[in-house]
Amino acid sequence: MTQSLKGKVAIVTGGSRGIGRAIALMFAREGADVAFNYHRQAGAAESLEQDILALGVKCDKACVDIRDFASVKDWIAGVKERLGGIDILVNNAGIVQDKALMLMTPEDWLAVIDTNLTGMFNVARACIVTFLKQKSGQVILVSSVSGVVGLPRQTNYSASKGGVNAFTKSLAKEVAAYGVRVNAVAPGYIETDILSTLSDQQRDAILKNIPLGRFGCPDDVASCVKFLVSEAAQYITGQIIQMDGGLAIR
Ligand code: NDP
């Protein structure tokens, strides 16, 4: 099997579980050395590290809160030194804290904005100078259809992901002349821990609105990322790719 990313270094935020884990493993299978961070679940991070190393590439794991600008800066500088560079950044770490606006507290609002939006700024900011200097690099942001169409009880989350989408387009225009591409994937409902709070009734109601008739899986998102960083996608930048089984077709 040809490994399309052999010799590259890919960073994945929130790699320890769910979508980030699938993306990190996709990179390792494609031959890239992988750096990832996590926040709380050290056991999940250790398990991923073992799985990545078993694929014969280097792995650099760190416990870093993406909300903290200084910690992120140190982490990225360390990865660059330990793995010898950075070629791809996937900003994936994110949380939900769903509530009707009338019940939402300032803490609910800030937790989601700080993680999903400011966290993304922190990581992209820490990588961008390297990408500009080397005149190559790829940024992939994990957004959500919630940021495109808006979903009830997600004003904080929809606002954060709408911000991610605008950030994608703005940064893509800013850095295109340096050979750096910036794209986002906007998944619909993907089977990860984030969906574990849904009741069977809620799941059935959601499924009725998904034309392809199933929830997505983390590998669906990893496949889309694999395409976006491939040679086949070299003329694509500034796009928000919806991958939601048709959920948000309007
Ligand atoms: P999970 O809850 O399964 O995993 C979230 C990951 O982010 C974990 O690795 C977690 O680390 C990490 N993380 C959370 N907060 C921080 C933080 N402050 N600093 C560093 N790492 C952090 O989520 P999913 O895989 O479902 O979601 C991944 C991305 O995909 C998110 O951006 C989400 O918004 C987006 N998305 C998900 C959809 C879905 O249906 N699942 C749909 C659309 C978009 P730890 O394990 O240590 O907690």
Q: Is 20 in the pocket of ligand 1 (CB under 6 A)?
A: yes
State the pLDDT confidence band at 133, using cuts at 50, 70 and 90: very high
Mean pLDDT of 231-246: 97
User: In the sheet that 137-142 helps form, which strands lie side by side, from edge to edge?
Assistant: 59-63, 33-38, 9-12, 88-91, 137-142, 180-187, 240-243
The Cα–Cα gap between 94 and 114 comes to 10
Q: Is the pLDDT of residue 196 over 90?
A: no
| Among protein residues, the one whose CA lies closest to atom 3 of ligand 1 | 18
State the pLDDT confidence band at 64, using cuts at 50, 70 and 90: very high
Q: By CB neighbour count within 10 A (0-12 exposed, 13-18 middle, 19+ buried), where does 43 fall?
A: exposed
The Cα–Cα gap between 218 and 57 comes to 21
State the pLDDT confidence band at 235, using cuts at 50, 70 and 90: very high
Q: Is 111 in the pocket of ligand 1 (CB under 6 A)?
A: no
| Among protein residues, the one whose CA lies closest to atom 9 of ligand 1 | 14
Residue 59: count other Cβ atoms within 10 Å of its Cβ.
20
Q: Which atom of ligand 1 is nearest to the CA of 67?
A: 18
Q: Is the pLDDT of residue 59 over 80?
A: yes
Mean pLDDT of 49-68: 98
Q: Is the pLDDT of residue 37 over 80?
A: yes
State the pLDDT confidence band at 106, using cuts at 50, 70 and 90: very high
Q: Which atom of ligand 1 is nearest to the CA of 66?
A: 19
Cα-to-centroid distance, 95 and ligand 1 (Å): 5
Q: Is 8 in the pocket of ligand 1 (CB under 6 A)?
A: no
Active site residue 157: yes
Report the pLDDT value the prediction gives residue 2, as an integer from 0 to 100. 83
pTM of the model: 0.98
pLDDT tens-place string over residues 9-35: 999 999 999 999 999 999 999 999 999
Q: Write out the CATH class of domain 9-242.
A: alpha beta
Mean pLDDT of the chain: 97
DSSP code per residue over 33-85: EEEEEESS-HHHHHHHHHHHHTTTS-EEEEE--TT-HHHHHHHHHHHHHHHT-
Mean pLDDT of 214-242: 98
Closest CA to 189 of 120, 137, 243: 243
Q: Which atom of ligand 1 is nearest to the CA of 42?
A: 47
Report the pLDDT value the prediction gives residue 199, as an integer from 0 to 100. 92
Q: Spot the catalytic one: 157, 178, 189, 235.
A: 157
Q: Is the pLDDT of residue 197 over 90?
A: no
Q: Is the pLDDT of residue 1 over 90?
A: no
* Exposure string over 177-209, b if 16+ CB within 10 A, otherwise e: eeebbbbbbbbbbbebebeeeeeeeeeeeeeee
Between vectors from CA 193 to CA 189 and to CA 194, what angle results, nearest 5°? 50
Q: Which of 21-30, 60-69, 194-203, 224-233 has the lowest mean pLDDT?
A: 194-203
